[in-house]
Structure formats: C-alpha cells, structure tokens
A and B are shown apart, each in its own frame.
Chain A
Amino acid sequence: MTAVAETLDAVQSATEGGYKWGFSTEIEMDMAPKGLNEDIIRLISSRKEEPQWLLDWRLKAYAAWLKMEEPHWAMIHHPPIDYQDLHYYAAPKKKAGPKSLDEVDPELLKMYEKLGIPLKERAILAGVELPEGEAPQVAIDAVFDSVSVATTFKATLAKAGVIFCPISEAVRDHPELVRQYIGSVIPAGDNYFAALNSAVFTDGSFVFIPKGVRCPMELSTYFRINARNTGQFERTLIIVEDGGSVSYLEGCTAPQRDENQLHAAVVELVAMNDASIKYSTVQNWYPGDAEGRGGIYNFVTKRGICKGANSKISWTQVETGSAITWKYPSCILQGDGSVGEFYSVAVTTNHQQADTGTKMIHIGRNTRSTIVSKGISAGKSNNTYRGKVSVLKGAENARNFTQCDSLLIGDQCGAHTVPYIESRNPTAKLEHEATTSKISDDQLFYCRSRGLSQEDAVGMIVNGFCRDVLKELPMEFAVEAQKLLAVSLEGSVG
C-alpha cells in the first residue's frame, strides 16, 4: 500500500465517532511544574543545554511579554487564558536510542499507527534505519510533544548540504546560524504570542538550504500535542540561501481533551536572492466538541522575508481544526522582483472560530503578491479573513491580486472579510475580489440524483470551491486535504 492510500484509509475511518484522532498516548513524562516565571525559563534552557546568549534572549522576550497585553482585535471570543496554569516543559523520558522497532516504546508506535503514518515512516520516525537502497521521498522531523523524538534522512540531506533538524539540535550544532536568524523576521517582542513563544519555545524544526541547492525531497513535520495542559510552543526557522529551494510540509492532529490547550507557534522564513520556499500546512487539531468545549487555541505567528531579489515565498494552508485559529502567515517582499503567495482554506464547523489571513508588505520594486482565501463556515461557527496589503513608497510597480471567497453552510454561521489595503506608491496595481455564496439545494440535489450521498455531494462541492488552493498543495497533501475537508463537514448539512 502506498503512503497516500494508507493516509487515505486513516482519514476515511474518521467518519464515525466525531474526532477520530481524539486519543492520547500514555508515555512517561518528564514535566516541569505549572506556571511561568524566570526560573521555568532557566529550567527549559538548561534542560536543552542552551548557550547563555539564548537564555538571555528568552529572558528578554519574557520581560517584554510581561509588559504586553493579550490582543483582542480579532473576531474571536474565549474565556481568559490562565498562563500560570500551564506546564511549559514536558519531555518524553529518554531511553537509550532504539536499534530496532522492538526497542521503540510501543505506545509511540501505536500513536503513529493511529495518525496513519505509513509503516516505513513509523520506523524512520522511531529512529530505525532503512535497508540500503530504499530512498523515501519524504523526510520527517517528528515533534512529539516538546522534544523531537526522531529526525530522519539526515544523511541523504547532509549529502546535499541541507540541514534539517530539531531547532534545539541546531542551537547546539549550528549556533552561529541560529543566532543570526532567530527573531530576525519575527522579533521576540513582535506580538503577545510571539513573545511568549520566544520565552518558552521548547522545540521545532530548523532548515538550512545552502547556496544553489534544491532540496532533494519534501521536508515534513508531524506535530502532536500530547501532554495534558501542556502548551505547545514550536519554533521553526527556515533559511534558504541564494538560488536554493525547499518545500516544507507541516501537518497536525491532536488528542481529544476537555481542557483548552494553548498553542503559540512561531515560524520564520528567510529567502535570499532567487531562493524559493513553499510552506504547506494541513492543520487538524481537536476543534472542541459539538458544543464548543475543549479544543485547541491556536495562536500562530508565521512570517517570511523575501530578502533577496527575485525570491519567492508561498504559504498554503488548510485549516480545519482548532477551537480558535489566529494566524496570519505573511510575506515581507523586500528584494526587488520578489513574490509572495498565500493560499488558504479555512473550515469552521460547530462553534469553531477562525480569524486568519495574511499580510503582504511590498518594499522592493516589481514585487508581486497573490492572495487566495477560501473560507467555509458551517454550524454556529465564525470565519474571518483578515488581510493587509501594504505598498511602501519605494515599491515601484508593485502588484497584488486578492480573492476572498466565503461559502456558508446553514444559516447560523458567520463569514467576515476584513481587507486592509494601503498604497504609498502611485504605480501600484492592486485588485481585490470577494464573494459570498451558499451551497445551494439545487447543487446538492443535482449531485444526489446522480448517485452521490448528501455527504459526498457536500464534500465534492466544497472541494470544488477550494480547488484553487488545493492545487497548490504537494500531491500527497492534496489528497489528504480533500478527504479532510469532506470529513470535517460531515453532518453539517441537515
């Protein structure tokens, strides 16, 4: 069975019992006490054996965070978050590195199975070597709770000069690169959640593509949030030097929980001259039950800078999970002729709330950006596109095309579009299109009269609506995402 088929099966079996990925894994945890203070930050830093400069950076971020206030401008509502009621550090207890699958914690393997990770990848994730000559196409850096359990394909990638490792390892092995770039796109004090992340991030991925190298495989991270009440603070940093390129996939599922779980990740991308970065996300975290209880609070700061001329950063996201999504993957188009893209599908059902969009900041000349956002709201959910296109004075001939489409299912949900457009250069050409539509009874009946079930019909219509975004996803993700959309909306049309 191929990876795609297995993934499909896994998603397909999600059709019953609500959120299929709602399980948790019993693995012994090494956990810091609840609460956040300088000592906890020192503990995190010392557990990770970090250099002094990083501890200082964390403490500075913490000091900044203390002076900041949680933002409330987004169209989301939630009970206050008690930041002192969370664990900020949890690590699976370390055993000696596994030499074969038999030595790997069976609970961990079970979890991979439930996640639908193909068998071959499971072994790789758990750190078991593949036989000679078997070259997998996807490299995975599995983030299991806060510590990366396994990092794969390092050898193959190393041959190409690519660095792909947990960020804590990068701090140890490539401190000069990390020090140069961390916080260079999203400063520690950028916003409330980014500051929090900077203070307490425990892991995440680091990618470095040297000059002229096209990364030989797609890089992939499976995220899991596992420990009860543990906020997850991932930090990802991707740097592509002149002429290099990389495609990075991020996919997430999480166990079912009653308490709300806070997630505040930071992703920074840096593209130099002629470099290109494609960052794709499928986010399927626990959205809460039908009444909206539980579910992940997802406050993410993602930003990339097209530093060099003719560089390109492309964000593609399929957001179906989380109780709250607060996320604006953005591009700073600094290099002349650089290109920023944002393709987004956000699905909300039941009581989910999503406030997501992008910022395109045009600084260089002849910079171009494209925004395609598809919001789908069902149930009693609220779905907001919030975007900003900003053309600075020196950005001669900047171009932007924005398309925001909303699809409503039922009559109790909301779709909102909040576009900000500012231009300080008269040569700019900016286009904005927006539509709002409903799945019509005509469309449903047409499909059903041809033999499709109501749910297949909804899935097909929604996938059609999202087509412009889904086609931007790498193949294996696109297949998974299509299925996910259909599964997410099951039962939403009465």
Chain B
Amino acid sequence: MLEIKGLEASIGDKQILRGIDLVVPSGEVHAVMGPNGAGKSTLGYVLSGRAGYEATAGLATFNGADLLDIEPEERAALGLFLAFQYPVELPGVGNANFLRTALNALRRARGEAEMDAPGFLKLARAEMKRLSMPDDMLKRNVNVGFSGGEKKRNEVLQMAILRPKLAILDETDSGLDIDALRIVADGVNALRGPDFSALVITHYQRLLEYIVPDRVHVLVSGRIIRSGGPELALELEANGYAGMVADAA
C-alpha cells in the first residue's frame, strides 16, 4: 500500500507539490490526471527518488517503509517501478544485459538467488511473446534508435520482467498509436492482482479505457482537488480541467 500524507516538494526554489494526500491500497490501480504543469511528473519523480526533486514536507510510505529517505535503487528493491515519460537511451548497453543486471540487482537486494543467462532469456522471451514484441528488442541497445512507441513498449517489457509491486506510469500513453496503447495497457493489466498496485499518470482519458482505474484523482497546481471513480475521468473529458478548477475554488 502506498500512503502519501501532506507531501510537499520543490524543484530548486520552486514549490511544485503543495500537500498531496493519497492512498493506493494493494491490488488497486489509481489514475492521476491533471493539466500541464500540475505536478504529475514531479509526483512520480519524488516517489522514485530523482535527484533535484526534493520533498520538503509530508510523508510517503510503501508497505510501511519510508520512501523519501532512501536511494532510488532501494525503492526499486521495495518494488517500485517508474515507467518513464521519456525513456533514456543507453548507448552500447544491450537491452538483455541491462534487464538481467537490473533483475539480479533487485533479487540480490531482496536476498533471492540471481538468475542465470539461460533462465533470464527464457523469461524475457516469454514476456516478449505475450507483449507481441519482436525478439530483436533484447539485442538492441537500451532505447537507442527506438521509435517513441518502441520506447514505451520497452518500458512495459521492463515492468513485465522486473515485476514491481507498485508501478508508476508517467504519461506512458503519450505519443502512442492505438495498437501500442493496447499493448501497454495489456502489459499493465497482466500484472494486476492482489499484490500489485499502479499509479497511472495521464493527460487523457483514452488510456483509462484500456486500463480501467479503481480511483481517479485530479491534480491541479500541486494539490489533488477531486477524487472519484472511473466516471470522473469521463467528466473531465467532457468538461475539461477548467470547470473543475472553478468548482473547487
């Protein structure tokens, strides 16, 4: 369970998050929607520990562990995963090598046995087949020369292999065509279960047709101004953020 209480955060001197309260119980998928500049991505970065995104007040815990005090890799070991809005290129680093190193780092941190190369390849191939990804995706360098859609699919592949307990998807739907959107959604839906929760950050309601959230939160100017069921997303789509901001004010 992810619990956020009174979370405030700044980038440099600029306050972005102004007191976020949010609880995502295990097994649930929550969507965070909001206009540009509302602080959606900042929320994802603060939770996953990106340098420069400093929590200045409040708490964030995952299954009872304080997230804000530990390194990004320790958060990953707890089961956090951030699917990036702009996945980063790693020239010369093979996707398979990257993924296996990451998987084994997580396993080591959790006191589990490392996975050998053949075992890993078997796992990776099975996941790729499920996600309709071509085999050469593993051989290519991490995100280098990938199209926008391929990058996002690669994030989903990583998620499928690393099996997080809490996935934060930062506008994973942006720039995707309808087929890619479906693949991404399938990837998330396949992980759904009692031990998995997700925070889906998005601009648009479209993704939520495929990943149906348990709750929708509207983030505006660093605060959650409304929360509700999936129908809230439809309301947003119809009326836009402006109306809702006016209502909240």
Which residues of A pack against B, CB within 8 Å? 440-443, 445-454, 456, 460-461, 463-468
Chain B residue with Cβ nearest A441: B51
Q: List residues of chain B with CB within 8 A of the CB of A460.
A: 90, 93, 97-98, 101
Q: List residues of chain A with CB within 8 A of the CB of B76.
A: 448-451
Question: Quick check: B92 and A465 within 8 Å, CB to CB?
Answer: yes
Binary interface encoding of chain B residues 87-101 relative to chain A, with 1 for a CB under 8 A from any of its CBs, else 0: 111111100011001
Q: List residues of chain B with CB within 8 A of the CB of A468.
A: 92
Chain A residue with Cβ nearest B91: A464
Quick check: is B178 within 8 A (CB to CB) of the other chain? no
Quick check: is B241 within 8 A (CB to CB) of the other chain? no
Question: Quick check: B51 and A450 within 8 Å, CB to CB?
Answer: no
Chain A residue with Cβ nearest B53: A445
* Residues A448 and B73 in contact in the complex (CB < 8 Å), given A456-B101, A460-B98: yes
Quick check: is B106 within 8 A (CB to CB) of the other chain? yes
Report the separation of the CA atoms of residues A441 and B49 in the bound assembly, to the nearest whole angstrom.
Answer: 12
CB-defined A-B contacts under 8 Å, sample of 24: A441-B52, A443-B90, A445-B88, A448-B49, A448-B72, A449-B49, A449-B73, A449-B84, A450-B81, A450-B162, A451-B73, A451-B162, A452-B102, A452-B105, A456-B105, A460-B97, A461-B93, A464-B91, A464-B92, A464-B141, A465-B91, A465-B92, A467-B92, A468-B92
Report the separation of the CA atoms of residues A446 and B101 in the bound assembly, to the nearest whole angstrom.
Answer: 13
Q: List residues of chain A with CB within 8 A of the CB of B97.
A: 460
By secondary structure, the A interface counts as helix
Taking residues whose C-beta sits less than 8 angstroms from the other chain, chain B's interface range is 20 to 34
Report the separation of the CA atoms of residues A443 and B48 in the bound assembly, to the nearest whole angstrom.
Answer: 14
Q: How far is the CB of A225 from chain B (nearest CB, A)?
A: 33
Which chain B residues numbered 73 to 122 have a C-beta less than 8 Å away from chain A? 73, 75-77, 80-82, 84, 87-93, 97-98, 101-103, 105-106, 109
Q: How far is the CB of B111 from chain A (nearest CB, A)?
A: 14
Question: Quick check: B93 and A463 within 8 Å, CB to CB?
Answer: yes
Q: List residues of chain A with CB within 8 A of the CB of B158.
A: 450
Binary interface encoding of chain B residues 49-66 relative to chain A, with 1 for a CB under 8 A from any of its CBs, else 0: 111100000000000000
Report the separation of the CA atoms of residues A468 and B92 in the bound assembly, to the nearest whole angstrom.
Answer: 8
Report the separation of the CA atoms of residues A116 and B76 in the bound assembly, to the nearest whole angstrom.
Answer: 34
Report the separation of the CA atoms of residues A451 and B162 in the bound assembly, to the nearest whole angstrom.
Answer: 9
Q: List residues of chain B with CB within 8 A of the CB of A463.
A: 92-93
User: Which one of B91, B93, B102 contacts A451 once the chains associate, using CB atoms below 8 Å?
Assistant: B102
* Residues A449 and B105 in contact in the complex (CB < 8 Å), given A460-B90, A464-B141, A467-B92: no
Report the separation of the CA atoms of residues A443 and B51 in the bound assembly, to the nearest whole angstrom.
Answer: 12
Q: List residues of chain A with CB within 8 A of the CB of B162.
A: 450-451
Question: Quick check: B102 and A446 within 8 Å, CB to CB?
Answer: no
Report the separation of the CA atoms of residues A467 and B109 in the bound assembly, to the nearest whole angstrom.
Answer: 27
